[in-house]
Structure 1
């Protein structure tokens, strides 16, 4: 595939109307044959990471076998959930469900701790007729499904137990570019997770957008430990499927236990050609702290073309730590790409330019709370660092909008980010009212000059993200979530800003594990600030009084805010989503219920 095959005369992405994920898959299976498509490094059963490899020919055989089995027991449009551990069988199950004519629902095996309730909610929403798993995981899956009402229990099929010979009966399903390929369930916090309807065209468009924005080759290799049920992890497996190349997978646990495994595989792939990866911000900090190679190891990262940093707020300190740790091994200072994305956009929205080095812009905290982005010196007493997420992808639009008047705001003014483009999902599965509210918005007034909606149709519908952002010099900055804003005495405060202050207030606080939110005061006339902070390692028996006092003083000094309550909790007590983000609203609910 060549870049010009996907662009029109004006440089916009112009995919054929009948494009589907499977049309590219079939092409690559025929073209690459015995080359490796997907590899999984199994660190659970081998400390050296035994490689389980799937060639393109083998992938084709397995897809036909599993697809044929699904066609025996499903109807077109049925949902097929994947409840399997990380690995090549997960990849086979996901693509086979789509090829069979079903709608894939990528989920996780019940062994994922702390998320049984979410899994039950998703299964109740999607109502799959079949669950795909693996033989080793089948018993746990069956036990979990027995909790469901008998009328809603799906059939369970082990992907690896289906003989190749079953593929003889496979009939390619008639798929449409605008049809639903899979449901991407949002992480959710206090609300029940919603399934975003992702079409074939949305996936193909978004991958091309990412390739152009980051400056990648279409057949670039990659290494990923991201969970395959998460939007970022899922899009990683699309690169080989759509454009060839190879993807090396490992489990999230394998990375967290030994971050060097990810770095080592990036270097190994980079010896064969340009490679890239994606990860949330915490991964870069963790790799810098615990991912350095043993002294004398041959590690060359000079061919790493891009490392997308997204999925959670980007911290410039984390990037600087990563660059300092691995720059000596040839990593380019432009390799890490602060980015913005979300499930409703399939994934990718914006990133920094191919030759741009990540940097922070410092804004005045008080003015930011009033909705104005005013630059100040880094050492100004009220300075808040903000990392640019670069420019919006080709053939996608992101306007900054007043959420009340639905009028586009000028650069430098903070508002809600609204998105439009062929990569945006169709809506939420089975939720007409929520779909209308979030996906079917009209921009009432566009700016006459400097509009970021220029080029989008006048009657375009927009997805309102719930994220707050601002444009400065044409680049997008994410300032926070509307629902997470801490509003006290009429002033807006961004929780991540307060949480950063708390994390540095005392060494007894576990950095990155602080939740700030507001709750109604006893008289119900105003909101008040609450801090929940996990104790750092070794601080379990520390006297809480000095820690609480240090937190109160730091927040008062930097934010002019009184803290109504501080709760120091054990490590792991603060709820997090399945993708690892802080679930502030869930934490708030637990606090109000007296569980903390």
Structure 2
């Protein structure tokens, strides 16, 4: 994060990368480096520059752009933090139940500034996720809920209907006047304080709150900046990701570190017209480098519905696109690259990455000048726990995308969890992590915290392994993710909880799901869930592709059964076809296989 001749001298007061590294090049944050301290530094040095921009697509007159400079943000934070302090004590939880927008950004940072613990959630109108919201609120027990005037009625109605947690005070962010900031009482924050609770997506179990400290979030932001090579101050963010999601929060965290800005929009605006994302990226690309992030489905959707007309004034030459799904889809990458290469998108733009909420977010990505790459692995060996490369045209070949190199000052080892032993490269095991970016534990779950965040590595492979520089006597995070190291890259093969066990053999659901999509054009690609029932029989749930509602499903059902048996040696016990949108997904857009399985077994699948 060095300054150069193209930037005004005032930027020299911003934090420099050298301040964040020790003599050996390891990440060591300066004393007192909290999110609020970083924001205060930006206010002092680049106060008149834009911090956050929101593109509001809800009005009848087209897009409305709303901006906050760092100085304006500072005034809003003092005012809202003072309002929080009137009704909450230090360490209380403050939940943000607000629509996407700059008021959400203000609420999140103000809760931290007030000395409370922010709980980024979502307004109750998010369809299909009321149960997750109830779970998170019941778990966090917030003393205060922050919302906006527009969402106040819905939020109040939702809270009044809850009887299993105490009724929180309500603060309406956009009704707090700036003048209230005069009553703000300064709070000394420590880097080991919990800044916020990040609730997990709920893909494989009910959501739980991860305690993220200031040290963890600051370390992880620096790790991302170094890995993505965002050292140029003229780098900005563009994001439609929900601000309650860990990557959405990171997209508002970047500017706090390097003094740039992020342009935000709502997930709904993106889904309805994905070209908006492309247009915002193009606008940012003309200013300098622009960074964004999204899961598989967003790249697929944009390649299908968001490609501008040939010759449109779109410039994607300076764009960096993080793709962080589990696992990353090469088909999504290739489809997006093909669609947007005519608009200047470099082949190195898309960065397959791996992250997890328990590690604040970021773990690994490919090098700045590298292109996305994959290996083809033997399916039978993969199921037996070994990554054996085979030619791409091998009938039993399974593609696996490389997630690149682990971030600086973070360690990722592949472990046999039964023995705590590090496995050799090419062997599949559970990914364990260590580093100052790891969260402190799960909120009010000491047993789960001990089991997940306090693992001990009992045996390493020394120089042949991946523990050089790690604290071998320290704790490790058991991620629940399966993967392997090969030729310098980390690969993620899936989640332990998602593995399908039939007849003593393990199968990866996404591999079967891809087979289902290949077998029948009637199936909506990316919207298939595979799991085993209690009798270890394979069940397939798939959404219909657009325009197929009147088609006879029998040929597709037969083709699916034949192809799954041929490729995987598995008989299919049941195939359920549903309309678009019927398969449950997490709030971050991932398949919720656990919820899908539970609904199937209860007989309620597709009933909502």
Mapped to 1, the partners of 2:463 and 2:313 lie a distance apart of: 53
Q: Is the 8 A contact 1:2 1:218 kept in 2?
A: no
The DSSP-based 3-state class of the residue aligned with 1:353 is coil
Q: Secondary structure at the match of 1:449?
A: helix
CA contact (8 A) 2:530 2:593 kept: yes
Compare 271-280 and 348-357 and name the one that shifted more.
271-280
Q: 2:75 aligns with which of 55, 58, 61?
A: 61
Q: 1-side partners of 2:458 and 2:309: how far apart? A: 58
**SS in structure 1 at match of 2:142:** coil
Candidates 546, 550, 555, aligned match of 1:546 = 555
Alignment of 1:409-428 (within 5 A): 409-428=423-442
Q: Please show how residues 118-517 of structure 1 align to structure 2 within 5 Å.
A: 118-149=132-163, 152-189=166-203, 191-217=205-231, 219=233, 220-304=235-319, 306-517=320-531
CA distance in 1, matches of 2:585, 2:534: 23
- Would you say 1:14 and 2:28 are equivalent positions? yes
- Alignment partners' CA distance in 2, 1:192 and 1:377: 40
Shift of 1:391: 0.5
Tell me which residue corresponds to 2:11: none
C-alpha distance in structure 1 between counterparts of 2:265 and 2:61, whole Å: 12
What do residues 491-533 of structure 1 show as CA deviations (whole Å, max 9, x unaligned)? 1110000000001111111111110001132xxxxx1111111
Bigger mean CA deviation after superposition, 373-382 or 483-492: 483-492
Q: Single out whichever of 44-53 and 69-78 deviates more from structure 2.
A: 44-53
Alpha-carbon separation, structure 2, partners of 1:457 and 1:160: 46
Match of 2:546 in 1: 537
Q: Is the 8 A contact 2:203 2:590 kept in 1?
A: no
- Measured after TM superposition, the shift of residue 151 of structure 1 is 6.3
From 110, 121, 124, the equivalent of 2:124 is: 110
Quote the Cα distance in structure 2 between the aligned partners of 1:307 and 1:191: 29
Gaps of 5+ in 2: 1-14
Answer yes or no: is the 8 Å Cα contact 1:307–1:336 preserved in 2: yes
Q: Distance in 1 between matches of 2:238 and 2:488?
A: 31
Cα distance in 2 for partners of 1:334, 1:174 equals 43
TM-score (norm 1): 0.97
Give runs of ≥4 in structure 1 deviating > 3 Å. none
Deviates more, 1:281-290 or 1:194-203: 281-290
How far has the Cα of 1:449 moved from its partner?
3.1
Question: How many Å separate the matches in 2 of 1:17 and 1:492?
Answer: 48
Contact map agreement 2:216 2:437 (CA 8 A) in 1: yes
Question: Which stretches in structure 1 are left out of the alignment for 5+ residues?
Answer: 522-526
RMSD: 1.2
Residue matched to 2:7? none
Number of aligned residue pairs: give it. Answer: 590
Under a length normalisation based on structure 2, what TM-score does the superposition of the two structures give? Answer: 0.95
Moved more, 458-467 or 141-150: 141-150
Equivalent-residue separation in structure 2 for 1:312 and 1:265 (angstroms):
26
In structure 2, C-alpha distance between the alignment counterparts of 1:449 and 1:40, rounded to whole Å? 49
Tell me how far 1:4 sits from its aligned partner: 2.0
Instruction: Supply the distance in 2 between the matched residues of 1:88 and 1:218 (Cα, whole angstroms).
Output: 25
Partners of 1:232 and 1:311 within 8 A in 2? no
